[in-house]
Amino acid sequence: MTMAFDTLRYAQRLQQVGVAREQAEAHAELARDMIIADLATKADLAAAVEELGADIARLGGGLRSEISGVDTGLRTEIRRVETDLHTELERFDTSLHTEIRRVETDLRTELKLLEQRMTIKLGAMLAAGVALVIAAQKLL
């Protein structure tokens, strides 16, 4: 795509506002030269596109490398957390089993003591019953 700068129209417009013809033409040529000097050529654009492509490729490679590093770090951290969690669960499981065995032992001890007290009370009740039967027979 080319950019057209109408130097004739520019010079004519300057002449309409009172600028001398030679000055208007010189001004138009200078304006055209300045505009053209700032325009990018196809070669300039191709070089810029190539440079951008190289920058994008370099950044893409760096980004892939960084993502890979983060991925590796995260995987390592996840494995460490899994190991810590597994260890903590094993400790909890061991502690829970120990507590359950202690409660079972305490419960069995309490049940044996209760059984002994009940046996003693039952024996006392039997002895009292026998004594009542004997006393009742003597009275009769």
Q: What is the pLDDT of residue 84?
A: 98
The answer to whether position 107 is within a domain reads: yes
The two counts, helices (H) then strands (E), for the chain are: 3, 0
Which residue segment(s) compose the domain that 63 sits in? Answer: 40-139
Q: Classify residue 23: in a domain, yes or no.
A: no
Per-residue pLDDT of the chain (140 residues; tens, 9 = 90+): 456 778 888 889 889 999 899 998 899 888 888 887 777 788 888 999 999 999 999 998 889 999 999 999 999 999 999 999 999 999 999 999 999 999 999 999 999 999 999 999 999 999 999 999 999 999 88
Q: Is residue 127 part of a domain?
A: yes
Query: Looking at the domain assignment, is residue 30 inside a domain?
Result: no
Sequence-separated (6 or more) residues with CB below 8 Å from residue 14: 23, 24, 27, 28
* Whole-number pLDDT of residue 32: 84
Count of C-beta atoms within a 10 Å radius of residue 18 = 7
pTM, entire model: 0.46
Angle separating helix axes 21-38 and 7-16, nearest 10 degrees: 140
The count of structural domains within the chain is: 1
User: Scanning the structure block, which residue is given the tokens 């409660």?
Assistant: 103
